């Protein structure tokens, strides 16, 4: 039981008080429990789980879906993108010409493409908490699912 003002509420009940300061990014008890469908010890160290979707209803037979990215590719892609952001204004200031500025745009595009490549994409979550079948880079139908984390 938790004392809030003059009322007492049970933590974790629907519509009750929850202390979100205990959880990073405002994760609730429920989201922490749902995010545990993916076992982080069974995922490669280079992969980062950005979001997990779980079925809205217990009767839904679909597996949870996780959006996963590669940390190394994101860092390298961000560095290439930052280089392009620096080169484009420098080309304009130095009057290097339109084509040099256009090259900076191509470099930025290459950085974004590299960051989103590799093993990045949507995966089904297996019953044992591992990444299951690869669903691709484009967003699958998540209409009957709700986002839940991930929360550490």
Looking at the chain, the whole-number percentage of residues with pLDDT higher than 70 is: 74
Domains of the chain by residue range: 18-147
Q: Give SS3 for 119.
A: coil
Q: For 48-105, how does the pLDDT look when each residue is reduced to its tens digit (9 = 90+)? A: 888 888 888 877 788 888 899 999 999 999 999 999 999 888 887 887 777 787 888 8
Burial class for 3, CB neighbours closer than 10 Å (0-12, 13-18, 19+): exposed
Residues 6+ apart with CB under 8 A from 39: 128, 129, 130
Mean local confidence (pLDDT), 98-124: 89
7 pLDDT tier (thresholds 50, 70, 90): very low
């Amino acid at each position: 039981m938790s004392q809030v003002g003059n009322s007492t509420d049970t933590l974790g009940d629907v519509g009750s008080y929850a202390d979100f300061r205990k959880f990073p990014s405002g994760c609730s008890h429920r989201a922490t429990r749902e995010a545990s469908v993916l076992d982080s010890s069974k995922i490669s160290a280079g992969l980062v789980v950005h979001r997990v979707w779980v079925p809205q209803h217990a009767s839904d037979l679909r597996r949870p879906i996780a959006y996963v990215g590669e940390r190394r590719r994101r860092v390298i892609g961000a560095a290439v993108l930052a280089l392009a952001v620096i080169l484009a204004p420098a080309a304009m200031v130095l009057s290097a010409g339109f084509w040099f500025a256009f090259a900076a745009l191509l470099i930025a595009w290459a950085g974004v493409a590299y960051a989103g490549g590799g093993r990045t994409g949507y995966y089904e979550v297996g019953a044992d908490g591992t990444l299951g079948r690869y669903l691709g880079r484009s967003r699958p139908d998540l209409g009957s699912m709700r986002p839940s984390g991930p929360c550490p």
